[in-house]
Amino acid sequence: MTQATPSQRTYPWTTTMGDRELTFRLMEPSDRDAILKFARALPTEDLMFLRSDITQEKTVDSWIGYIKSGRTLTLMSEAEGKIAGYASIHTNDALWTRHIGELRVLVSVDYRGIGLGKRLTNEAFAIAKDMGLKKITAQMTTSQRGARQVFEHLGFRPEALLADHAMTKDGRTHDLLLMSYDVAGFHDAAASA
Ligand SMILES: CC(C)(COP(=O)(O)OP(=O)(O)OC[C@H]1O[C@@H](n2cnc3c(N)ncnc32)[C@H](O)[C@@H]1OP(=O)(O)O)[C@@H](O)C(=O)NCCC(=O)NCCS
């Protein structure tokens, strides 16, 4: 079945990355169990730093609820019948922040380093732009050094550092880094307006 985003970008489609064949499509409520399986197979280090605990059924159920209501849009990539990664854009219709989307990207360990995170992010950017969003944010702790480097490669810039703002499952606090990406030069346009 053909899927379309609010701006009529269409999925699914399949491409080759490295020597892997990957299919890109939008997440649907029927993906609940596959997402739980994907999340539960992540290494402890990744699980420690998840923004929300997607190994829990109730968390995935509320994610699906946001997809149904249109507040979240998730693009996923599959290979050999399993989820290889996803990128989600989370929006908030509060008046002041309605132009902002938060990006969450997660790629399974087996598919890292072949450009999948970048491809998912670029697709998510295109969708965000079509949705009229002006600024994309990503949040990570300062301990996630690899993630920060990846996001810098993707064009994100550090914007704020919040001390002890994140608490991992083990009860330890971490400084939270807020990075942002200016969709289509919005910041420059806003500054000169
Ligand atoms: C962050 C993450 C999504 C990257 O996915 P990926 O598929 O491995 O990344 P890609 O292969 O697309 O690489 C993207 C860019 O980052 C670079 N990169 C990849 N891994 C890197 C690493 N560990 N250190 C430094 N740079 C790295 C790549 O060279 C590439 O750079 P380029 O654009 O100049 O070619 C993945 O590592 C992940 O899921 N991490 C756990 C979750 C997380 O931390 N998410 C971020 C918070 S939302």
Is the predicted pLDDT of residue 100 greater than 70, yes or no?
yes
Residue 125, in any domain of the structure: yes
Place of tokens 């701006």: 7
Atom index in ligand 1 nearest the CA of residue 108 equals: 39
Q: Which of 43, 51, 38 is nearest to 78 (CA)?
A: 38
188 within domain boundaries: no
Checking if the pLDDT of 154 tops 70, the result is: yes
pLDDT, residue 191, reads 58
Q: Does 93 have pLDDT greater than 90?
A: no
Cα 152 from Cα 150, distance rounded (Å): 5
Top mutation candidate among 76, 108, 153 for ligand 1, by most atoms within 8 Å of CB: 153
Residue 103 covered by a domain: yes
Within-domain flag for 86: yes
Give 116-148 pLDDT, tens digit per residue.
Answer: 999 999 899 889 888 889 999 999 999 888 889
Residue 121 is assigned to a structural domain of this protein = yes
Residue span of the structural domain in which 38 resides? 3-136
Is position 68 within any domain?
yes
Angstrom CA distances, 79 to 84, 114, 164, 186, stand at 6, 13, 38, 35
CATH assignment of the domain containing 51: 3.40.630.30
Question: The pTM is what?
Answer: 0.91
Q: Is residue 174 part of a domain?
A: no
Report the number of distinct structural domains present in the chain.
Answer: 1
39 in a structural domain: yes
